[in-house]
């Protein structure tokens, strides 16, 4: 019997998520570059689309499903946005939080939409196409690719990378796995671990604290 011979590979192609390579995620510099080049009237929709995705972790299909009544009330832009269960993955529903910067962007975008004749009340969609119809998932993904090219990002990220960005940034800021799990609306903490990438600087900082 050979002690150190590798066992035969399993017959299935299923691999535990613990051994997956960490996903590529945008850097803060990447996000800032995209927001900078879209900070203009002709890119207002895409600016908010990227800002909300990166600042809340919403999936692309959850973003395009948003209606104005979910974002605003008589008092202004809501701090907590309630998601309809049928619009979320696994029908889990839940809420996401808009920080002050995002609430300001939403308010500015709403003013822009009203100026261009878009409906900004009730069940009117937040993100619309040029013909005033609800933006589709495919169109949102294409818009994300286009603004990355505009920002000079040579190797574009998929839209879902914005969710990874949010989860990773939140975990690095808090070092709280449970808090990150709740914010990401994950049923299992094992799903959240995929978003909590640990970099070399994290290890260096942790080791320094030991001394």
For the chain, the structural domain boundaries read 23-158
% helix, strand, coil for the chain, step of 5: 55, 10, 40
- Nearest alpha carbon to residue 87 among 61, 117, 111: 61
Contacts of 7 (CB under 8 A, 6+ apart): none
Range with lowest mean pLDDT among 112-121, 167-176, 180-189: 180-189
Mean pLDDT rounded to a whole number for the chain: 86
Q: What is the pLDDT of residue 201?
A: 61
> Which one is the CATH code of 23-158: 1.20.810.10, 3.40.50.1460, 1.10.443.10, 3.40.50.720?
1.10.443.10
Whole-number pLDDT of residue 13: 44
What is the maximum span of the chain, computed from C-alpha positions, in angstroms? 77
Quickly state the pLDDT bin for 71 (edges 50, 70, 90).
Answer: very high
Per-residue pLDDT at 183: 83
pLDDT score for 107: 97
**Alpha-carbon dihedral sign for residues 203, 209, 210, 211:** positive
Q: How sure is the predictor about 19, in pLDDT bands with cuts at 50, 70 and 90?
A: very low
pTM for the predicted model, two decimal places: 0.82
What share of the chain in percent tops pLDDT 70? Answer: 82
Residue of 59, 48, 123 whose CA lies nearest to 87:
59
Report, as an integer, the average pLDDT of 64-85. Answer: 96
Write down the pLDDT at residue 22: 63
Quote the CA–CA distance of 63 and 60 in Å, as a whole number: 5
């Amino acid at each position: 019997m050979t002690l150190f011979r590798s066992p035969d590979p399993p017959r299935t192609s299923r691999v535990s998520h613990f051994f997956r390579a960490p996903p590529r995620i945008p850097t803060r510099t990447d996000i800032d570059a995209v927001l900078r080049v879209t900070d203009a009237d002709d890119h207002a929709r895409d600016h908010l689309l990227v800002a909300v995705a990166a600042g809340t972790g919403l999936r692309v299909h959850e973003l395009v499903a948003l209606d104005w009544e979910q974002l605003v009330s008589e008092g202004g832009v809501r701090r907590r946005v309630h998601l309809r269960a049928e619009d979320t993955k696994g029908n889990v529903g839940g809420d996401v939080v808009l920080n002050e910067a995002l609430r300001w962007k939403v308010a500015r975008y709403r003013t822009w939409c009203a100026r261009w004749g878009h409906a900004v009340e009730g069940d009117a969609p937040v993100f619309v196409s040029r013909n005033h119809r609800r933006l589709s998932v495919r169109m949102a993904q294409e818009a994300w690719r286009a603004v990355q090219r505009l920002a000079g990002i040579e190797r574009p990220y998929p839209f879902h990378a914005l969710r990874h960005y949010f989860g990773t940034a939140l975990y690095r800021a808090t070092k709280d796995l449970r808090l990150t799990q709740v914010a990401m609306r994950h049923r299992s903490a094992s799903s959240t671990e995929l978003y909590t990438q640990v970099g070399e600087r994290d290890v260096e900082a942790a080791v320094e604290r030991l001394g």
